[in-house]
Chain A
Amino acid sequence: MTEQIHLAAHFPGVNNTTVWSDPRSGSQIDFGSFRHLAETAERGRFDFFFLAEGLRLREMKGRIHDLDVMGRPESLTVLAALSAVTTRLGLAATVNSTFNEPYEVARRLATLDHLSGGRAAWNVVTSWDAFTGENFRRGGYLAEADRYTRAKEFLQTARELWDTWADDAVTADPVRGEFLREGGVTPFRHTGRHFDIQGLFNVPRGPQGHPVIIQAGDSDEGREFAASSADVIFSRHGRPEEARTFYRDVKRRLAAYGRRPADLKIMPAVTYVLGDTEAEAAECAAEIRRAQVSPANAIVFLEGVWGRDMSFCDPDGPLPDVEPELGEGVSRGRAQFRGDRAATAAKWRAVAQEKNLTIRELVIEMSARQTFVGTAASVAEQMTSFVRTGAADGFVLVPHLTPGGLDELVDQVVPLLQEKGVYRADYTGTTLRDHLGLRSPVKETS
């Protein structure tokens, strides 16, 4: 059988992906928007629907960032509502492991797994920053070096909790008066560096045993965490060369944990633009990029990388000759500007010089992630070859319009993938684990 492509839909929430100025752009908060996108994804037989999370509003230079879409609901609550209007689609929530406690998160995920009949997934993210921590009663207490040790122990603890109820613990036999069978539920005790907890878990094991675990970090620790513990990686590597390198690197790490390459699906975030002709699609893609990177937004991006006020710059002029500030920077609550600022700025400068770009053109060049551009047939072909050449197991599709941005892909590209035999014609199972071809979790032995 040929390699099967996995597809997921990202709800384009808070970022500059969404072209909110487009008249077709709807509400990012109304439940109808979530419902529309989820129903479209299910019509397209997608593996899952993905919600991101950010627990503090982004700021630039100490002020709330006001140029992009802002405001979103709590992920698990929306996904629970979506479980009522879908029947097969996986429902993936991003839930932070730093500002939560295992008992509560484990029970909410087990609940979603029950309500959806086995379709829950958890993207474990770690946001370390004290900035986000200011919204929580426990504050920004965790050093950056600890975020993956906590994430790992958090997930381990959640798994211990899920495993304390046997699959057949609930007998509910009214005649014998036995609701739980003898030995069906065992107490837990977890003693570790981050958690010292004990007692009884209060949700029966969900249909999937454990929800599907997704990981999205990119650092070495992040990759090890994924290799040891995740079922899916939501990667940011959507360019074929980088994607192949990332794919090889992560799959290679699995053996050390006694896992097979098929146990971890790698799904990069990708965007797409369709047109009736290649030229039309390219033109449309250029328009979208310009809408995403308005002149004001170009300066904001630049400030994010340079880590300082650049408001004196002309977005349609050249990059000025100023050095980046290497401190904490001016942008907060946004993941992509972390890392080596000096190196990033040097690279940007080199590209601007080499291609003779204005600031806005440079930002478009450096930040645009348009992966698949073309006619439906050529996009179907590009996606297929991406997977066939070992760059991914599938994709998390990020539309640029809410909520209708997935419609044309599902209507035009999915049928072509199905014709090629590289994508399911219909769901063959009921749980997300079934869709992803993942094994049932083996119980932790305590």
Chain B
Amino acid sequence: MTLHLAVALDGAGWHPAAWRADGARPDLLFTAGYWADLVVEAERGLLDWVTFEDSLAVQSTRHDSPDGRRDQVRGRLDAVLLASALAPLTTRIGLVPTTGVTHTEPFHVSIGIASLDHAARGRAGWRPRVSARPHEAAHFGRRTFPPIDPAGPTARRHIERLLREGVDFVEVVRRLWDSWEDDAEIRDTATGRFVDRDKLHPIDFRGEWFSVRGPSITPRSPQGRPLVTSLAHSALPYDFAARTSDVVYVTPRDADDAAAVVTEVRAAETAAGRTGPPLKIFADLEVYLGPPGRRARLDDLDGATHVSDAHVFEGTPEQLADLLLMWRASGVEGFRLRPGVLPHDLPAVTRGLVPELQARGVFRRAYETTGLRGRLGLPRPPSRYVTAS
């Protein structure tokens, strides 16, 4: 069975000094051409999908405020629009942008991702992201968030509430995706009706935080429901993923931990009463491929040891292939690799790791599907509003 491989794109790479590496092209980070080169390379490597990070605040080494640093990449483009600009330049690779769900409108996000799916002809995904950051809330001025004290009980309650609000947000988005049945557009010249209004459904969502009427303004997209993916490090977000997502990115330290995380995620699914296909569990890894010492040299440039929330791998593509297969035996189905330095580690993945995995018979030699759901073996679901008649 093929192993699944996604790559996470962000700035010049995941090391804070990546932008200073040879070939990094930091002056082009805000141009379409820079991203087009990366995504075309990822597609050449037959990767499942690429993700685009995003947030509604400037990057910071702190959790609760900007850090004022000028020696790291600051600023980024809106991920949905960026993904959309890459859609016509590619044909097979999945495009998965991140959007915030704490300060935005589910209606806008729903039609944005559905529109990406239309433009990409069935290759859109989405990563909803909750934000507890007080400075991000200040950009909207609608609510005041408490300072983040990770140890304190306030922070936990705050995050718990935001995650529950996030669950509602994703539910609204998903209902809006279903609010047009696939065959709602009839163009019936005999009766003069363009749509069959019985196939358009108000979603009438009413929740603790907001209510949304529907239906969507955007017809059902090629995948019906674009792939929802989320990042989770602990129990609360596992629950969020179990309730909202098709895929969860997790961050185990090693193969044993991966097995433990898989058990925890499966338990969260049961506890949440999840129906439908189980979560696809992907492990996140930050990767530095090639000669040893690359990461240390970047740390020197940055003046600090870079700490990642994910396991950091340093070594050869062969060693990485060994690790992936070992972790897979622990129950993860795929991986999202975060290249330490994009211009170096992305091609090392597509031209080093991928051929190695192909040689071992565990990775595709050609794309078999165009749609992103199909690539994971997920069916195209009918709208939940279809009534048997």
Contact = CB atoms under 8 A, between A and B. Distances in A.
Interface of A: 14, 20-21, 29-31, 35, 54-57, 63-64, 66-74, 76-78, 80-81, 83-85, 99-101, 103-104, 107-108, 111-112, 114-117, 134-139, 165, 170, 172, 174, 177-182, 184-185, 195-204, 294-297
Contacts of B185: 70-71
Contacts, number: 226
Contact of A180 (B21, B70, B86): B70
Nearest to B26: A172
A20 B112 CA distance: 25
A30 B118 contact: yes
- The winner among A72, A73, A74, A197 for most chain B CB atoms within 10 A is A74
A423 to B, nearest CB: 28
Given A73-B114, A200-B57, A137 B218 contact: no
Interface of B: 19-21, 24, 26-27, 29-32, 36, 55-59, 66, 70-78, 80-82, 84-89, 103-108, 111-112, 114-116, 118-119, 121, 135-136, 138-142, 180, 184-185, 187, 189, 192-197, 200, 209-215, 217-219, 301
Residue from A77, A101, A202 whose CB has the most chain B CB atoms within 10 Å? A77
Contact of B88 (A35, A72, A112, A198): A35
B76 A112 contact: no
A106 to B, nearest CB: 10
B107 A136 contact: yes
Given A20-B194, A135-B107, A177-B71, A83 B85 contact: yes
16 contacts: A31-B87, A56-B213, A71-B217, A71-B219, A74-B108, A77-B81, A80-B82, A103-B139, A108-B81, A116-B32, A135-B212, A170-B27, A174-B26, A185-B58, A203-B30, A203-B76
Given A71-B217, A111-B81, A84 B89 contact: yes
Contacts of A103: 56, 103, 139-140
A256 to B, nearest CB: 31
Contact of B194 (A66, A181, A203): A66
B29 to A, nearest CB: 7
B32 A72 contact: no
Given A178-B71, A182-B70, A57 B215 contact: yes
Interface of A is mostly: loop
B135 A199 contact: yes
A29 to B, nearest CB: 5
B218 A74 contact: yes
A116 to B, nearest CB: 8
Given A174-B20, A185-B74, A203-B77, A100 B105 contact: yes
A103 B121 CA distance: 30
A72 B218 contact: yes
A343 B69 CA distance: 63
A81 B87 contact: yes
A300 to B, nearest CB: 10
A197 B218 contact: no
The listed residue with most A CB atoms (<10 A of its CB), out of B30, B104, B141, B217, is B217
Nearest to A64: B197
A181 B72 CA distance: 11
Nearest to B187: A20
Given A112-B81, A135-B214, A179 B73 contact: yes
Contact of A114 (B31, B36, B210, B214): B31
A108 B213 CA distance: 25
A200 B66 contact: yes
Contacts of B106: 137
Most chain B CB neighbours (cut-off 10 Å) among A63, A71, A78, A170: A71
Contacts of A198: 138-139, 141
Given A70-B194, A294-B192, A101 B140 contact: yes
Nearest to A59: B197
